[in-house]
Each structure stands twice: as structure tokens, then as C-alpha cells.
Amino acid sequence: MYEWVKAFHVIAVIAWLAGMLYLPRLFVYHCAAEKGSVQSETFKTMERRLLRIIINPAMVATWLLGLHGACARWLKDFAADRNRHSQKFYRLINEIPAILMAAIVILAVVKPF
């Protein structure tokens, strides 16, 4: 049974990280869309669905991480046309989950310590 639990945990982590990698990328493109445009409204829908259907359930299945809360707040800011950050900021934030993922995998597989 342990192997099944472990397998579902890894699947949840991968789904969560995939969402966390994609959501800030949507924010990068959303910054370039004119407020109130069809494109901006489409990004709002995509961001909301990604968070509610993929990221939140996967996160609950793994563990609560601080960056998730920030992304949820940024999503609400975009939804209300109150974005306060630049594309450069979201590009930087976009890389954090990838760096964390690489570090976690190396620590788990290589076990350097």
C-alpha cells in the first residue's frame, strides 16, 4: 500500500509543479493584454481554471507552499485589473518552482547529505 500512496503523492507533486510553472507564464502574457480586452478576459478564465481545477487539488494532495498563496493573490489582482507587477517580476517568479523542483529531486535521488 505504501508504494501506491507514494506514487499518488509524486503524481500530485508533478501536477502541482506543472501548474505552478504555467500560471506565472500566463501572467507574463496577461501583462501584455489590454485591460478589458477579449484576450485579457480569456487569460482571466484560463488562470482561474488552472488554479481551481489543477493547482489547488494537487497542492492539497501534497503540502501547502508559500508561493501558492502569492499566485492566488496575483490571480485575484489580475481578475480585478489591479496587477501591480511587471512582466520581468513574473518571469523571475516563473523560475522559482523549477529551481525548487530540481533541488528537491536532487536531494531525494542523489541524497548528497
pLDDT in tens, 1-48: 656 667 777 888 899 999 999 999 999 999 999 999 999 999 999 999
DSSP-assigned states of every residue in 15-48: HHHHHHHHHHHHHHHHHHSPTTSHHHHHHHHHHH
Place of cell 506514487: 7
pLDDT at residue 1, rounded to an integer: 64
What is the rounded CA–CA span in Å between residue 17 and residue 94?
Answer: 11
Higher pLDDT, 40 or 97: 40
Count of structural domains, the chain: 1
* 4 contacts: CB under 8 Å, gap ≥ 6: none
pLDDT in tens, 48-60: 999 999 998 998 8
List the domain range (segments joined by +) for residue 49: 2-109
